[in-house]
Amino acid sequence: MMKPASYSKALPALWRYCLMGIGWSAVVLGVIGIFLPVLPTTPFLLLAASCFAKSSARFHHWLLNQRHLGPYLHLYLDGKGIPLRAKAYILILMWFTMGTSAIFFIDPLPAKLLLPVIAAGVTIYILRLPTLATNRAKPAAENQC
């Protein structure tokens, strides 16, 4: 697993508090995303882990060892990948929101053109990540019932 480069000692206090605030906001949004199908969970948890890695060893350790949230992070941070369903969900939601924003909510043409470029870059990144193999076979004990 990746180890954080350095914790809070090297950063000014204001910067540490800003990172902790962003981290906790991302945790809240990630938890909401567990229950709300429109809001993705994993990207917010990764953002929180990154912010906590730079600002607070205690919060970083707490997040990675959380019973419900930690497994999401460990799969990614350990390089095992993300499930195919999560990849599809991320890409569909991202292209939908970026496309909708470019068509309906953004006026300047350069910004309209920039959104698909960003989405293409993120798509390439997501597709290059390892896909987690899920074992859908039932254990032998369940088959005997």
- Which residue do the tokens 């950063």 mark? 11
Predicted confidence (pLDDT) per residue in 118-138, tens digit: 889 889 988 998 898 765 444
Same domain, 17 and 74: yes
Cα–Cα distance, 86 to 77 (Å, whole number): 15
Kindly state whether residue 58 falls inside one of the protein's structural domains.
yes
Which structural domain, as residue segments, surrounds residue 87?
Answer: 81-133
Return all residues near 91 (Cβ < 8 A) that are at least 6 apart: 123, 126, 127
Whether 142 is covered by a domain: the verdict is no
Q: What are the beta bridge partners of residue 132?
A: 83
C-alpha 50/C-alpha 55 separation (Å) is 9
Count of structural domains within the chain: 2
Round to whole Å and give the CA distance between 61 and 67: 12
Residue 91 tokens, joined? 């890409």
Mean pLDDT, residues 90-116 = 88
Query: What was the pLDDT predicted at 141?
Result: 41
| Whether 98 contacts 118, CB under 8 Å | yes
Q: Tell whether 10 and 63 lie within a shared domain.
A: yes
pLDDT over 90 (residue 65): yes
Which is more confident, 94 or 51?
51
**Percent of the chain beyond pLDDT 90?**
27
Q: Check residue 137 and give its pLDDT.
A: 43
Residue with tokens 């919060």: 59
pLDDT digits 0-9 by tens, 5-51: 544 456 788 999 999 999 999 999 988 887 876 677 778 888 999 99
Tell me, yes or no, whether 88 and 75 share the same domain: no
Contacts of 92 (CB under 8 A, 6+ apart): none
State whether 66 and 118 are in the same domain.
Answer: no
The SS3 assignment for 131 reads strand
* Spatial distance between the Cα atoms of 51 and 95, rounded to a whole number of angstroms: 26
